[in-house]
């Protein structure tokens, strides 16, 4: 499948529609609005996209990188019609390359339960020493 990847500032409604279509919000406890998504994307210093030959947004990745050692990938979503075609893997590799020197930058992320197999398939290592702190009930 032909697609183009780049670093870009995304239009909030466009990316919100993609995230909803991807199913990313299906199991979340809190309601996520387009304004929440806009704030999150505006507050991230590395946003990468994949678009098809007609310019349609088919995948997005939102990350926070220090361009030195650590890059936290907070969102990755592929449109249902583009899933299973290597877009997710390509966009993560592209994001890694944009986040700093790929030989020095480590990518961290929290996987949705149903996506664990994806990260294992593309070579991510499962860590036993990650922690989180939150008050979400």
Ligand X SMILES: CC(C)(COP(=O)(O)OP(=O)(O)OC[C@H]1O[C@@H](n2cnc3c(N)ncnc32)[C@H](O)[C@@H]1OP(=O)(O)O)[C@@H](O)C(=O)NCCC(=O)NCCS
Applying CB under 6 A, the residues found at the interface with ligand X are 22-24, 76-78, 83-89, 111-112, 114-115, 117-118, 121-122
CB-wise, 102 or 117, nearer to ligand X? 117
Smallest distance from ligand X to CB 33, Å: 18
**What SS3 class is residue 84?**
coil
Toward ligand X, which CB reaches closer, 68 or 121? 121
Direct distance between the N- and C-terminal alpha carbons of the chain, in angstroms, rounded to an integer: 41
Q: What is the dihedral of CA 55, 59, 62, 68, to 10 degrees?
A: -90
Which tokens in the block code for residue 12?
Answer: 């909030």
Nearest distance, CB of residue 92 and ligand X, angstroms: 8
State the DSSP string of 3-60: EEEEE-PPPHHHHHHHHHHHTTTTT-SS---HHHHHHHHHT-SEEEEEEETT--EEEE
Closest CB 11 distance from ligand X, rounded Å:
19
Least spacing, CB of residue 122 vs ligand X, in Å: 5
**Based on CB atoms, which residue is closest to ligand X, 92 or 105?**
92
Nearer to ligand X, 82 or 105 (CB): 82
């Amino acid at each position: 499948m032909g697609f183009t990847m780049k670093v870009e500032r995304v239009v909030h409604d466009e990316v919100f529609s993609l995230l909803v279509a991807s199913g990313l919000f299906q199991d979340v406890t809190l309601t996520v609005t387009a304004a929440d998504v806009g704030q999150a994307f505006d507050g991230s210093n590395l946003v990468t996209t994949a678009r098809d030959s007609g310019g349609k947004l088919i995948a997005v990745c939102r990350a926070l990188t220090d361009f030195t050692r650590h890059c936290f990938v907070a969102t990755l979503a592929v449109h249902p019609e583009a899933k299973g075609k290597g877009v997710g893997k390509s966009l993560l590799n592209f994001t890694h390359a944009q986040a700093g020197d790929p030989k020095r930058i480590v990518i961290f992320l929290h996987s949705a339960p149903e996506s664990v197999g994806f990260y294992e398939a593309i070579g991510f290592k499962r860590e036993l020493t990650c922690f989180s702190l939150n008050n979400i009930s």
